[in-house]
Amino acid sequence: MMTKIEYEQLGRLNEPFFTEIKLAVNKVIESGWYILGREVELFEIEFAQWVGAKYCVGVANGLDALTLSLRALELPAGSEVLVPSNTYIATILAILHAGHKPVLVEPSEKTLNIDWRQLPAKLTNKTKALCLVHLYGSACDMKEILEFSSAHGLAVVEDCAQSHGATYANVQTGTFGQAGCFSFYPTKNLGAMGDAGAVVTDDERVAHRLKYLRNYGSAVKYHNKFVGYNSRLDEIQAAILRVKLKYLNQINEYKNHLANVYFANLCEDYVLPHRSAGRHDVYHIFPIRTPRRDELRTWLADRGVKTEIHYPLPPHRQEAMVGLFNDDYPIAEKIHKQILSLPISFANTTEDVMTVCRLLNEFSKN
Ligand SMILES: *Cc1c(COP(=O)(O)O)cnc(C)c1O
């Protein structure tokens, strides 16, 4: 039989939770309360506790989690916000939507996360915040970054869309800065069955503002205190997330197991994700690098193995960003040309991953 290994299958991924999810969704349907009800409230309490933060505010998606967090910080309009040059476009869009100027900082070629050594060169008197991304599920170099941000009085917003549960020095991502922004897009380690997001924070003022901003700037119906948004976490999605949150540790552990199979079996021709002591990664994505990326991807596809590219085009190359960034970003460019995401879904088996390893090792001999 021909090998067939999918990159991601959301139905199969969620299948173990179907019975519980259906019960939870039914409860919401029958309750007749569909917006900002008990499920959102309980999810916020449970997720804050899981992350280890004081507050959690549910929002509509990850992009809004970032945009509203930046708004809640009330930085001067047009502030410069430092952000990695190889992030997913959402991080950049959030900075723009919040009325600020994204300033791209190159990543480290080793960790693929923002290179703190490059931060001082990008600092101006307009720099007011750092928007970190714990890309692929691996925490940034928090010690050095926090030293820099506190030395210069910069706010820190963390994009944790790929890092649910990832830790640095045993502390979870999302709790280092003023706001930790999560996406629960269906493919994320904690994925809903539609769009969903949340912000965690220890800052009561930030949490308070976020509750207004997500709901038309209003806490009392028809009384608007801020120029807000409609970005509420959906009650049905919250009910689904409450079920899946109970299994998030298990999902993360399973992805770690699959990552370990790759680490143990892939030959040395590929650059594998960086691992370091004091960091626990959650492998939202398992990116390898090779100069023969495109050839390899086709070769694998011909043999029934699906892969993805996160991401084919860096933000500064996007049509939407023309005129915004004038510097060169050679490291981001190089990464985007060489990177390939291997299957590492909760729906993949150990045998799937062994097969992928065998094929990759065979390809490297050609
Ligand atoms: C998925 C993702 C987002 C956006 O999340 P949405 O819920 O799709 O809006 C933001 N940043 C990163 C790094 C992501 O991977």
Q: Give pLDDT tens digits for 122-170.
A: 999 999 999 999 999 999 999 999 999 999 999 999 999 999 999 999 9
Q: Is the CB of 98 under 6 A from ligand 1?
A: no
Pick the CATH number of 247-365 from 3.30.70.20, 3.30.70.100, 3.40.50.410, 3.90.1150.10: 3.90.1150.10
And the tokens for 222?
A: 């028809």
Q: Closest residue (by CA) to atom 4 of ligand 1?
A: 62
Dist CA 311 CA 303 (whole Å)? 23
Q: Is the CB of 161 under 6 A from ligand 1?
A: yes
Cβ atoms 200, 174 nearer than 8 A = yes
Instruction: Kindly list the strands in the beta sheet with 167-168, ordered across the sheet, starting from the edge strand earlier in the chain.
Output: 171-172, 167-168, 279-280
Does position 3 have pLDDT exceeding 90, yes or no? no
Q: Is the CB of 91 under 6 A from ligand 1?
A: yes
Q: Which fold has domain 11-106+113-245?
A: Aspartate Aminotransferase; domain 2 (3.40.640)
What are the C-alpha distances in Å from 298 to residues 8, 108, 336? 17, 28, 17
Q: How confident is the model at residue 217 (pLDDT cuts 50, 70, 90)?
A: very high
89 backbone φψ class: left, alpha, beta (φ>0; ψ -120 to 50): alpha
Q: How confident is the model at residue 221 (pLDDT cuts 50, 70, 90)?
A: confident
Diameter of the chain measured on Cα atoms = 68
Q: Is the CB of 133 under 6 A from ligand 1?
A: yes
Q: Which amino acid is at 89?
A: I
Distance 232 CA to ligand 1 centre (A): 16
Q: Is the CB of 162 under 6 A from ligand 1?
A: yes
Q: How confident is the model at residue 2 (pLDDT cuts 50, 70, 90)?
A: confident
Q: Is the CB of 62 under 6 A from ligand 1?
A: yes
Q: Is the CB of 185 under 6 A from ligand 1?
A: yes
Q: Which of 162, 283, 308 to mutate to test the pocket of ligand 1 (most atoms within 8 A of CB)?
A: 162
User: Could you tell me the residue ranges of all domains in the chain?
Assistant: 11-106+113-245, 247-365
Q: Give pLDDT tens digits for 227-260.
A: 999 999 999 999 999 999 999 999 999 999 999 9
